[in-house]
Structure 1
Amino acid sequence: MKFLLTSAGIKNKSIYDTLVDMLGKPIAEANALCIPTAIYAIPGGATKSWEFLTGQATTPMCELGWKSMGVLELTALPSINEELWVPVVKEADVLLVNGGDPLYLSYWMRQSGLADLLPSLDAVYVGLSAGSMVMAPNIGEFFVGWTPPNGGDETLGLVDFAMFPHLDHEMLPYNTMAAAERWAAGMHGPAYAIDDQTAIKVIDGAVEVVSEGHWKLFSP
């Protein structure tokens, strides 16, 4: 699977062009599946989910002009037959995975069976904030909100680095470079701090930073 891990969606031309290149076709010819699940574990999640799906958020994902768009709600999947949703996922060109709480998203990706399916897909996985962080081996104490049944900060580990999104965001005064440095000191592998104008592209394990903003790689 190809990963485009963003802090805040498709925020600039560099990230947009990278997405189109990864798709191998124009966005208008690509079929998208939107996954809002992570957002429900934070305050105002229901409203924020609607804003994400209808393109009213400030994190461009669903409003880019896809050929078709569906919604995959992970919490519903364990209660229905796999034949009702697995073929839909396999046919999608892109998965658009909303932000919110990364541990809640990780839990439901596992519970639903999507986590097991992801490595075999040909689709492009586009993450937004928590939707990106969930691909890391873990997220660090700084980002722990919702607590999974077994505790800890472990996520899916489909990439070998961690992410600190929304670096220096005006509405997130604690997301400073100094905070990112303290966070990275507690991580056990490579860790990226990225702002909202930055994304990380991963294909077959090869990592490339795409940015019109600022970012920093912390090596262990």
Structure 2
Amino acid sequence: MRLLLTSAGVTNPSIRGALVDLLGKPIADSSALCIPTAQYGHPLCGPASAWRFITGQTPLPMCDLGWKSLGVLELTALPSIGEQRWAPWVREADVLLVAGGDALYLGHWMRQSGLADLLPSLQDTVWVGLSAGSMVLTPRIGDDFVEWTSPDGGDSTLGVVDFSIFPHLGLLPDNTMAAAERWAAEIAGPAYAIDDQTAIKVTDGTVEVVSEGHWKLFPS
């Protein structure tokens, strides 16, 4: 997969340009599936925020970018319909737009649904993550971001990339650079703190920071 891991969606021209580059064609010619699942696992989210994400009625640009087509892929429904039905929907999409919310809950349902197992075969698909939708692809999220308790009780996510992400740098009272430094020390691996004007682009294992804001790399 080609990855665009954001804190708050496609918030500026630089991030939008990175998205178009990953797609290899205009957004208006690209088909998208949005995944709102993470919304249901976080105590500050729920049905209303999931609806706002899907309909593009948030200040976090994702579903409202002018896609050729847009569908909803709810991961909790997939085990009941079988992979032979839903996997073609995923393979036919140019991009997966993955909402924020709770990264551990999202990771759990990616495994339960079978989507996590499908990811390695989606070589031409672009994954655009928003906050938890980005963090779910990292090895760990850190105790600071644990809200939903996973079956194993830990903070491990899917480990598609080898670095962790501290999102919304400077936006919330607790998301200071000092807090990010403490978090990174706990993670004990490569990690990025990124603000809402920053994204991390991953193409064939090559990592590039795309930013019109502030970010910091904490090496391992």
| TM-score grouping bracket, smaller chain normalisation | over 0.9
Please give the root-mean-square deviation of Cα atoms over the aligned residues, in Å. Answer: 0.7
1:45 CA displacement: 1.2
1:150 CA displacement: 1.3
Task: Give the aligned residue type for 2:159.
Answer: G
Task: Give the aligned residue type for 2:213.
Answer: G
Instruction: Look up the match of 1:47.
Output: 48
Aligned ranges for residues 155-194 of structure 1 at < 5 Å? 155-169=157-171, 172-194=172-194
CA distance in 2, matches of 1:139, 1:218: 14
**2:123 maps to 1:117:** no
Task: Give the aligned residue type for 1:100.
Answer: G
Aligned ranges for residues 120-135 of structure 1 at < 5 Å? 120-121=121-122, 122-135=124-137
CA distance in 2, matches of 1:188, 1:119: 26
Percent identity for Structure 1 against Structure 2: 72
Instruction: Look up the match of 1:136.
Output: 138
TM-score between both structures, scaled by the size of structure 2: 0.98
Instruction: Look up the match of 1:100.
Output: 101
CA distance in 2, matches of 1:25, 1:166: 29
Asked whether the 8 Å contact 2:45–2:101 carries over to 1, the reply is no
Instruction: Look up the match of 2:25.
Output: 25
Task: Give the aligned residue type for 2:153.
Answer: G
CA distance in 1, matches of 2:155, 2:111: 14
Task: Give the aligned residue type for 2:102.
Answer: D
CA distance in 2, matches of 1:137, 1:33: 24
Give 5+ residue unaligned stretches, structure 2: none
CA distance in 1, matches of 2:140, 2:193: 14
Give 5+ residue unaligned stretches, structure 1: none
For residues 102-154 of structure 1, the C-alpha deviation after alignment (integer angstroms, 9 at most, x for no partner) is 00000000000000101110210000000000000111111111001111000
TM-score between both structures, scaled by the size of structure 1: 0.98
